[in-house]
Structure 1
Amino acid sequence: MRFRDRREAGRELGLRLMEWLSDGELPRPVVLALPRGGVPVAAEVARALDAPLDVLVARKIGLPGRPETGIGAIVGDDPPLFDRRALEMLGLTEDRLRDDVDRERAELRRRELVYRGDRSAPDVEGRAVVLVDDGLATGVTARAALRHLRGQEPARLVLAVPVGAPRTVEGMRAEADDVVCLRQPPDFGAVGLWYDDFEQVGDDEVIGLLDEAEPRRSGGHGTGS
């Protein structure tokens, strides 16, 4: 079954996670979105959990000539995380991809500045972190993000996505405490195939959704305060 759009997918995901919240399994939750596509999904999850919403900017390192195929990813100042098996199969080295990494890190910094300005990243130590994207294909970006977050000692680390490739979802279970994926179609193909509306999300939409969530982020109310 396809989702109408990312907002609908986020509402379904939020309903699933509300069960955990009511059972006390998500202490002081904070919802982090992988922009840009994960932000509309995460906005609905954060609303359902009455939790703060923020972004964790990660950038995919694409295969030369096929940038949509991720073979690595970067988050923050962390060194790039590469799919070593893919590099070996393709005869690529990290040195060969250095310019790609530098370009993506520059874009990462640009997006952090646009989305967050001078506001610091949330302190997630001792909190339940729900990392949200609009889907999992290769999973390399989500893996890099989860490893980055693990180093910040959250109380619980949850990866939540509406749809994902079954093998990728299974592989993520070694990186997160829990993985929530509503759909794991055996004929997955690509994330966008499982949405009726999969229009590209722009910076303005991301900023607007973060602004809407500002009262929860700043501790105005709710469980995330």
Structure 2
Amino acid sequence: MYNSIFKNRTEAAILLVEKLKKYKNSNSVVLALPRGGVPLGSEIAKTLQLPLDIVLSKKIAHPSNKEFAIGAVSLDSTILDEHPEIDKIYIENEIIRLQNVLREKYKLYRGDRKPIEIKGKNTILVDDGIATGNTLLVTLEMLRKQGAAKIIVAVPVLSYNTVTIIEDQTDEFHYLIASKHFKSVGEFYEDFRQVDDEQVIQILNTS
């Protein structure tokens, strides 16, 4: 297990891809979670000689604390924690609003390109780290609905408390650091500068 701080996302991807070598030139696809997961996904896809695409989901924020997630949504899946005090109309409206945002983001990132077909393929889902795992879980549900043959999650770092949650929902789960003192993904990188939309578009256009 890797027990240090990564220099940047590229170094994290180089270390992580060692766990995925068996998928090189296979019937597989790499899906990255924008924006931070895209540089890692690009490095992993190039090394494994696999196609790269993106997959999007959004957290549903608590109405009185936007930093606190009460669930997550993708284009065709929703995961919600139990919060009976929250108005159902708020949740329904947020799901509609967030799904519209996701459609706009897909159009921005992909342009006229069609999404890569994942039905019957090994799907390697990549991000730069996992905090609560809510947005990842809703993404996994979406991939199952789309018929992925096998779902592999690969991340450099996550909270120790999240490991079992993710393991239970995947066919394979690969990580380098599971911290019992996890505060944020960024604390495990020397260089954790923000990845902007233009970088995501450029990476996808050259993949």
- What is the aligned partner in structure 2 of residue 39 from structure 1? 38
2:202 corresponds to 1:204: no
TM-score, normalization: structure 1?
0.84
Q: Distance in 1 between matches of 2:175 and 2:87?
A: 33
CA-to-aligned-CA distance 1:8-43 (integer Å, 9 cap, x gap): 11111112211x336xxx841100011111111111
- Superposed CA RMSD in Å reads 1.7
TM-score, normalization: structure 2?
0.91
- What is the aligned partner in structure 2 of residue 21 from structure 1? 23
2:9 corresponds to 1:6: yes
Give the CA deviation at 1:134.
0.9
Structure 1 unmatched ranges of 5 or more = 214-225
- What is the aligned partner in structure 2 of residue 158 from structure 1? 152
- What is the aligned partner in structure 2 of residue 216 from structure 1? none
Q: Distance in 1 between matches of 2:54 and 2:63?
A: 27
Figure out how many residues of one structure are paired with residues of the other and give that number. 204
Q: Distance in 2 between matches of 1:186 and 1:28?
A: 35
Structure 2 unmatched ranges of 5 or more = none
Change (3 A) 1:45 1:94: farther
Q: Distance in 1 between matches of 2:144 and 2:184?
A: 27
What is the 5 A alignment of 1:1-225? 1-18=4-21, 20-21=22-23, 27-76=26-75, 78-84=76-82, 87-88=83-84, 91-213=85-207
Percent identical residues: 37
Give the CA deviation at 1:57.
1.4
Q: Distance in 1 between matches of 2:5 and 2:63?
A: 31
Q: Distance in 2 between matches of 1:12 and 1:69?
A: 31
| Aligned-partner residue type, residue 164 of structure 1 | L
| Aligned-partner residue type, residue 27 of structure 2 | R
Q: Distance in 2 between matches of 1:29 and 1:109?
A: 25
- Asked if structure 2 preserves the Cα contact closer than 8 Å seen for 1:83 and 1:140, the reply is no
| Aligned-partner residue type, residue 17 of structure 1 | L
